[in-house]
C-alpha cells in the first residue's frame, strides 16, 4: 500500500496534477519541490568500513556463529528474515559508526547491488554487516520510509545503477551514493506523506517484533523439549 501511494505522489504526481510545475534537471516537478544531492540532505550515510581500516577491522571484530552480544546484519539474513551471525561486546562498540537501532534503510552495494531493506527491530543490539550501506534521517526518523520506498522503486533502482561499476563484481561506494541527485517534495507534502504511511510501517514493525519474540521463545523451549528437560505436560500446567 505504501509503495502504491509513493508511486502516485512522487512518480506520477497525481495529487498535484492541477497545480503548478517547474522545470528541473530531472524533469518537471511541482512548485516548491527541489532537486538535491543525497549528501546535502540531513541524513547519515555509512557502512561497515567507516569504522576503520581493514587491518583494524580484522583485529577488533570477531564474527560468531553462536548467539552473542549483538546481531551482525547481513544481506542474506535480511532476505531470509532470520539472523545467524553475531559479534561480541567489544566488536559491537568498535563498530559504533554502523550501529543499527531499527528502521534504517539498508542497501546492498557489492555483488547483489541495489537490494533495499528496512532494518528490523530486534530484541538485542545490531550492527551493519559488510557489503552494504546504511542511510538514516537525522531529524525525523520516519523520513526513512520515504527513502526506502524511493530506492525500492524502479526510479531509485535506476539511480543506483547509474553509479554501479565493476565488471567482475558490481559495486558502488558511499561517496558516489551521496552524490546522487533526487527529487525532494516540500516539507508540507513530506509531512502529509509520512502521516499517511507511518502507521502502515509501524504495524509492520510491530509484527516483526512479535515474530522475533516468538522465534526466541521457540529457540529457548525446543532444546528443552527435545532433551526431555521439559514436557508438553509441564507447559500445559504452567498455562
pLDDT tens-digit map of 127-167: 999 999 999 999 999 999 999 999 999 999 999 999 999 77
- The DSSP line for 171-201 is B--HHHHHT-EEEE--HHHHHHHHHHHHHHH
Domains of the chain: 2-238 (3.90.220.20)
pTM of the model: 0.85
**CA dist., res. 85 & res. 207, Å (int):** 22
In 10 A of CB 131, how many CB atoms?
Answer: 18
CA atoms of 46 and 56, how far apart (whole Å): 17
Across the chain, mean pLDDT equals: 92
Q: Is the pLDDT of residue 203 over 90?
A: no
pLDDT at position 234 is 63
Q: What pLDDT score does 52 carry?
A: 96
Amino acid at each position: 500500500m505504501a509503495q502504491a501511494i509513493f508511486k502516485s505522489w512522487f512518480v506520477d504526481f497525481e495529487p498535484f496534477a492541477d497545480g503548478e510545475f517547474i522545470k528541473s534537471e530531472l524533469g518537471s516537478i511541482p512548485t516548491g519541490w527541489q532537486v538535491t544531492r543525497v549528501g546535502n540532505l540531513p541524513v547519515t550515510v555509512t557502512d561497515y568500513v567507516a569504522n576503520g581500516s581493514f587491518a583494524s577491522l580484522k583485529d577488533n571484530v570477531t564474527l560468531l556463529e553462536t548467539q552473542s552480544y549483538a546481531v551482525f546484519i547481513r544481506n542474506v539474513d535480511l532476505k531470509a528474515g532470520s539472523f545467524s551471525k553475531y559479534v561480541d561486546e567489544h566488536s559491537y562498540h568498535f563498530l559504533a559508526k554502523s550501529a543499527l537501532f531499527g528502521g534504517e534503510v539498508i542497501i546492498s552495494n557489492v555483488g547483489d547491488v541495489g537490494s533495499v531493506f528496512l532494518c528490523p527491530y530486534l530484541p538485542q543490539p545490531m550492527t551493519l554487516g559488510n557489503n552494504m550501506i546504511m542511510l538514516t534521517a537525522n531529524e525525523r526518523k520516519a523520513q526513512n520510509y520515504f527513502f526506502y520506498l524511493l530506492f525500492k522503486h524502479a526510479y531509485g533502482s535506476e539511480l543506483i545503477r547509474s553509479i554501479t561499476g565493476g565488471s567482475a563484481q558490481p559495486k558502488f561506494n558511499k561517496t558516489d551514493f551521496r552524490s546522487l541527485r533526487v527529487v525532494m517534495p516540500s516539507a508540507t507534502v513530506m509531512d502529509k506523506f509520512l502521516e499517511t504511511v507511518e502507521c502502515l510501517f509501524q504495524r509492520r514493525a510491530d509484527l516483526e517484533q512479535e515474530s522475533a519474540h516468538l522465534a526466541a521463545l521457540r529457540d529457548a523451549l525446543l532444546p528443552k523439549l527435545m532433551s526431555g528437560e521439559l514436557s508438553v505436560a509441564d507447559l500445559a500446567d504452567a498455562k
